[in-house]
Structure 1
Amino acid sequence: MDKLKTDRKRNEYKNEIVKHLVSRNLKAFRETFLELHPTDQVELFHEIERPLQKQVLLFLSPAEFADLFEGLDLEDQLIVFEGLSYQYAVSMFNTMSADDVADFLAEINTERADDILSSMDLEEAKRVEELMAYAPKTAGAIMTKEFVRLSVESSAKEVIAELRESAPDAETIYYLYVVDQQQKLAGVVSLRDLIIATPEMTVEDIMSTQVVSVSENEDQEDVARLIKEYDFLAVPVVTPEKRLVGIITVDDVIDVLEEETTEDFDEFAATRGATDLSLTAVTAARKRAPWLILLMFFGLITANIIGQFESTLEQVVLLAAFMPLIMGTAGNTGTQSLAVAVRGIATGSFDRGGVWKTVKRELGTGIILGLVCMVVLMGIIYVFYNGDFILAFTVGFSLFAALSVAAVIGATVPVAINKLKIDPAVASGPFITTLNDIISLMIYFTIATTLLDQLL
């Protein structure tokens, strides 16, 4: 019911805003639109027609439109950017966070980005250029330069007075970072500690010297994991010499987690870069085709194994009926173990619990699952195939062995790949499934060939 009310309210706002845009009622539009949360502004901007979006630009100043622009996806930003006048765009970038400007300029033509930077305020352009100099997906690349730094000599009264001036431009003020004369990180002051301190107390008396920080070249996924582990709202970024150069806030980390999750999902499904719904059919097919062709060649190995045991199949044709069952169940078991392993690597569980502990657990799980499935399948085959115990045992025991091995493969392959400094998600579901197909068929036909005299 609450959602229906919310949707109804948003539609009312949308209709009212559209009416003001069509009638070009500047005052009424600004009164209605600017009272909305930036997120709601972005949603409404998405929903209105392109000509009305251009009208919004005329009714908002560059500073007002900056918040809306930051909330747009990159694809929409690029479209909107093409419709902005040069001066409007420069003014807007001057009011945006340096990290958001750096992210956008990194996606456009280099010459055009340099042109914009040369027209921006010198101080703001310098911040942006510093961020763009960092390697992608590092702490330096996602940090923000808009933060409050304090001197150890300042009093609580002076800091609060300073915050009244600088807080509006800062990314967050819940944590205030203290630096020494060499700009090295010396401590941290929480806003709570600052408020309850007496006005005469100095920052040195209030601050905590036990500061958790990250290196400017640290991987963004490791930074996200650290912020999650410590429940931080922000974390300082330092150089190898411990100089404070920026901070990373929790909202940046949420974007990182979404990006990394999407990337891992792409790898897991062997669709790297092809899950974006905005891609055309041709582009999506081009990105997915190499993976499918590679898996097709793996499939040829499976076909070759079947060919090697052709004589066994010719003598007991009924064995072919159970091939999809054994291959499918082993593939599913391996994919489940793969998910456990990749998740353990991503969350750092392996570092705390040990690799072999997880592998042994998955082996035990595979054995138990194999025994359960073997008993059930043997019973079904025995009943439906005229009490043929040898056939039931051959298929059932093959399934037991295949599931035990599949669970271990699903857990060990991503660990081995991770040791080689490769993203463990590369050991994707389709690859694990295909590998388990090959091994499960080898197991099945080896056992069947061994018991061939009893099967005849």
Structure 2
Amino acid sequence: MSINGEREEISRAIVHLLKEGQKDTFQKVVSELSPYEISTHYRGLPRKRRILFLEWLSLDQLVALLRYLTRSEQLRVLKKIGPIRSMELMELLKSDELTHLLSDLPEKEVNRLIAEMKDEEKKAIRKQMKYPKKSAGRVMISQYVWVHQSYTVRMAIDKLRHFREYADYLNYVYVIDDEKKLIGVASYRDLLLCEPENDIVEVMTTDIIKVTDTTKQSDVAKMIGRHDLLSVPVVNDKDILVGIITMDDVLDIVIREANEDIEMLFASGKEIDFHTKPIAAAFKRLPWLVLLLFIGLVSGSIIAKFEETLEAVVALAFFMPMIAGMTGNTGTQSLAVVVRGLVTEELTMKKTFGLIFRELLVGIMLGVINGFVIAIIAYFWQQNLTLGLVVGASLIATLIIGTLAGTIIPLILNKFKVDPAVASGPLITTINDILSLLIYFGIATMFISKLM
């Protein structure tokens, strides 16, 4: 049986068990599934079966399920399971997961969701939510182990054993002084290979790779990837240790950033997936498309301005879609290269000019090759050498300008601290359409006497 066939069979079995009220058998089936598979079957359930499905899951299974749902889906789950179970569930979430879940909610809604939590937990959540969005403070977790500089290796290992419930996050032990400032870090391997009687300060590394609580999350991801770390400590402006960010947190950051960039690149709106209702999906996309509609009208006004040129040489119309389409495509390609590069590279003035120059050369090469090809095609098609030269020269110029536009616009936005992904594909394409038509008809008008 294929994987899809097996999945459908399990889905039907789950629905049957829910209908028949066979909770024990349901639990046996679900316990053999991975968290991702549970989320897939949950999404595929008829809506009237979802409440019972959630009710029959254990708290640990609910936590695992939540990690594979979108934020809006997570909030719907919390409403379905009721306030008491919601509170128990949120207590099991990592601090960064809970902060992300509550982000952007009205104050009244946040108060309702955390009402039954302990005062200490409420305080910690509110403190973390005060950090700027997309800062390290928003995604750091408090499940880490620190030791005082007076500890021996044996004392450090004993403390690690005591906090073994944090096993998923215990990659390093962090050493602090009397003022709780971070002064060193030691890996478990370092501790295991040393004599138990050694002082921790003899084992620790003082050359610490760390970030501040206000560091951008994307910069944290770059740092962990660059140094192949399993986790990185987070300190405040006084160098006091306040949390850690782990590799799995970084993966969440990268996936979230990638999803947001893809959504912005194609102006599709946030959190639109296979399960989004048609009306919601339409209204999330509508603002961008309305804006682009009005910008696109500029293209029509350009064609109207050169109406006499177009009437004189009707053959010019044959090449308009190709000129506009090629220019838009090369601009979008450059945009994708720049947006991806900004995620992985630290941008300096030298790198910026190097990138622009590189893309200029790319645009020239693409323009010359494609311009030469279309010039030959236009000549043999219309038996007009001047028309071939006009079309070829226009394509060369528009591909160069389109490539530069797709490179420079996101760089400018990045310089002004705006997410470059907002320079979406449709926006770049529309701008390049306008530029390409201006260039095309401008060159054609210059040679109108020879085209006729």
Counterparts of 1:429-444 in structure 2 under 5 Å?
429-444=425-440
SS of structure 2 residue aligned to 1:189: strand
CA distance in 1, matches of 2:381, 2:6: 59
* Contact 2:70/2:271, CA 8 A, preserved across alignment: no
Matches within 5 A, 1:57-96: 62=59, 65-96=62-93
The aligned residue for residue 449 of structure 1 is 445
- 1:141 corresponds to which residue? 138
For the residue of structure 1 that corresponds to 2:163, the secondary structure is helix
Checking the alignment, whether the CA contact within 8 Å between 1:66 and 1:95 is kept in structure 2 is: yes
Q: Is the 1:17–1:29 contact (alpha carbons within 8 Å) kept by the matching residues of 2?
A: no
Instruction: Indicate the larger mover: 102-111 or 177-186.
Output: 102-111
Question: What displacement does 1:29 show?
Answer: 6.1
| Shift in CA distance, 152/298, structure 1 to aligned 2, threshold 3 Å | same
Does the Cα contact within 8 Å between 2:55 and 2:81 map onto a contact in 1? no
> Which residue does the alignment assign to 1:379?
376
Which of 201, 206, 218 aligns to 2:203? It is 206
Q: For residues 100-157 of structure 1, what are the alpha-carbon distances to aligned partners after superposition, in whole Å with 9 as ceiling and x for unaligned?
A: 2333344656345435545323443333232223232211111111111111221222
In structure 2, the CA distance between the partners of 1:9 and 1:365, relative to structure 1 (3 Å rule), is closer
Give secondary structure in 2 for the equivalent of 1:354. helix
Report how far residue 207 of structure 1 moved: 0.8
Q: Is the Cα contact below 8 Å between 1:143 and 1:247 reproduced in 2?
A: yes
Structure 2 residue matching 1:119: 3-state secondary structure = coil
8 Å Cα contact 2:128/2:138 also seen in 1: yes
**Alignment check: 8 A CA contact 1:99 1:142 kept:** yes
Q: CA RMSD in A?
A: 3.0
Give the CA deviation at 1:311.
Answer: 1.9
Give the whole-Å Cα distance in 1 for the aligned partners of 2:46 and 2:321. 52
Q: Is the 8 A contact 2:132 2:138 kept in 1?
A: yes
Structure 1 residue ranges without an equivalent (≥5)? none
Aligned-partner residue type, residue 99 of structure 2: A
Query: What pairs up with 1:251-266 in 2 under 5 angstroms?
Result: 251-266=248-263
Distance change >3 Å, CA 49–CA 281, structure 1 → 2: closer
TM-score (normalizing by structure 2): 0.89
Contact 1:14 1:44 in 2 (8 A): no
Distance in 2 (CA, whole Å) between partners of 1:20 and 1:429 is: 45
- Change over 3 Å in CA distance of 1:48–1:380 after alignment to 2: closer
Hey, what does 1:419 align to over in structure 2?
Answer: 415
420-429 or 105-114, larger mean C-alpha shift: 105-114
**Cα distance change, pair 378–193 in 1 and its aligned pair in 2 (3 A):** same
Query: Where in structure 2 are there 5+ consecutive unaligned residues?
Result: none
Structure 1 pair 394/151, CA: closer, same or farther in 2 (3 Å)?
Answer: same
Aligned 8 A contact 1:127 1:145 in 2: no
Tell me the secondary structure at the aligned position of residue 164 of structure 1.
Answer: helix
Deviations along 1:228-265, one digit per CA (max 9) or x if unpaired, are: 22222211111111111111111111121122112212
What SS does the corresponding residue of 1:237 show, helix, strand or coil?
Answer: strand
For 1:122 and 1:98, locate their aligned partners in 2 and report how far apart those are by CA, in whole Å: 15
Contact 1:148 1:170 survives alignment (8 Å): no
Instruction: Using the aligned pairs only, state the percent identity.
Output: 36
Rounded to whole Å, the distance in 2 between the matches of 1:339 and 1:9 is: 35
Higher mean alpha-carbon deviation, 340-349 vs 183-192, is at 340-349
**Partner Cα distance (1:30, 1:304) in 2:** 65
Residues 249 and 22 from structure 1, CA distance in 2 versus in 1: closer, same or farther, beyond 3 angstroms?
farther
SS in 2 for 1:83: helix
Larger displacement relative to structure 2 (137-146 or 438-447): 438-447
1:326 aligns with 2:328: no
1:204 and 1:44, CA in 2 relative to 1: closer, same or farther beyond 3 A? Answer: farther
Q: Would the alpha carbon gap of residues 454 and 34 (structure 1) be closer, same or farther in structure 2, given more than 3 Å must change?
A: closer
Change (3 A) 1:223 1:312: same
Give distance in 1, aligned partners of 2:317 and 2:351.
41
